[in-house]
Amino acid sequence: MANKEKKAEQWKEAKQLCRLNDEDIRIAKEMGLNPLSLIKNIPAKNQLWKAPVKQWLHEIYEKRKEKSSEKAAVKSTKKLTIGIKSSPVEPANQDNLGG
């Protein structure tokens, strides 16, 4: 039980330090990130190239969503083409071939 409380406290700390809201925390958990990785990615004053954690989180979330939707589209296209190729074809009637 102490582990859950510790984890909840870490999420609370990450939420405060990274200036995240509940939706941002949900996104981070959905992607499998932990609170320490969010805190670790807070840009320092000399890291001007680094995006704020909230912006970084939303960027990687959008990339993952695009990637998964592309995979789903390819998968459904493959199923469709496989379904067309494997559709049953009626054999030719051997009685009407003349003979």
pTM of the predicted model as reported, rounded to 2 decimal places: 0.67
pLDDT digits (tens, 9 = 90+) for 25-70: 999 999 999 999 999 999 999 999 999 999 999 999 999 999 888 8
Each residue of 65-94: pLDDT tens digit?
998 888 888 877 777 776 666 555 565 565
Find out whether 13 and 39 touch, Cβ atoms under 8 Å.
Answer: yes
Nearest to 75 by CA among 83, 63, 64: 83
Which residue's entry shows tokens 């925390």?
25
- Supply the DSSP symbol for 50: S
